[in-house]
Amino acid sequence: MSNTPVALVTGAARRVGRAIAWRLAQGGYDLAITYHQSVSEAAELCSQIRHLGRRCLSIAADLTDPQPAVAAICAAVAGEMGRLDVLVNNASIYETGDLRSASVAQLRRMWAIHLEAPLLLCRALEPLLRSAGGQVINMVDLLAERPWKQYLGYCASKAALANLTLALAAELAPQVRVNGIAPGVAQWPEDYPPAEREKYLRRVPLGRAGTPQEVAELVGFLCEQGTYITGQIIRIDGGRSVS
């Protein structure tokens, strides 16, 4: 088995997940990444990571159907990589749905990808993580504590992930550290209206949106220097949580 540390990042083909995977590869990790529909983006990322001299395993997985997806992911990671030092639960879906419009099917998809999949991955990968003295990083959201009514299912399921993070930190200690990262805006949804963006930024003390790279650097810090940090939900929101 290689001595090179291995990180698994779910939903890594695009956006923040891609930045996290790239940052960890630059930091010396071999990577396993999952993707759902972004086939070409995942292939391109793996090619870039391999050009750094790192191994990269790309796994197709629909984490809204978590049991078969988790089984496939864990078999691939154990079989191809042989170890796991970092699990980043990043895969997510972001859909509108208020009290009247949120369907049961939508709520169940949110619950599956934001809560069930991280829990099942931690359960299945626990032996590898404990053996490596590794860590879990869950991508939460500032909206888990400051929900928007038009994103009812998203906010509630991310709040469940935040709670799971705290429980797993106690459960997996002392070998495995577990933390959450709660961005405000790290990258705008493509269809988010400019007027709404400006309205949001007026409430951000630092006056701007964050970037995927800034989130990725926080992941890097936790992996490389945060050896006495566990059970924390770290906000990276430009101060929005205090305004």
Q: Is 154 a catalytic residue?
A: yes
Return per-residue pLDDT of the chain as tens, 243 residues: 679 999 999 999 999 999 999 999 999 999 999 999 999 999 999 999 999 999 999 999 999 999 999 999 999 999 999 999 999 999 999 998 999 999 999 999 999 999 999 999 999 999 999 999 999 999 999 999 989 899 999 999 999 999 999 999 999 999 999 999 999 999 888 878 899 899 999 999 999 999 999 999 999 999 999 999 999 999 999 999 998
Mapped onto helix, strand or coil, the DSSP state of residue 31 is: strand
Give the integer Cα–Cα distance in Å for 86 and 30. 10
| pTM recorded for the entire structure | 0.96
Q: 175 to each of 128, 131, 171, how far by Cα in Å?
A: 11, 8, 10
Dihedral sign from CA coordinates of 61, 74, 66, 95: negative
Active-site residue, selected from the candidate residues 154, 192, 200, 228: 154
Q: 192 to each of 13, 22, 157, 189, 211, how far by Cα in Å?
A: 21, 26, 21, 5, 16
Q: In order of start, what are the domains of the chain with their CATH numbers?
A: 6-242 (3.40.50.720)
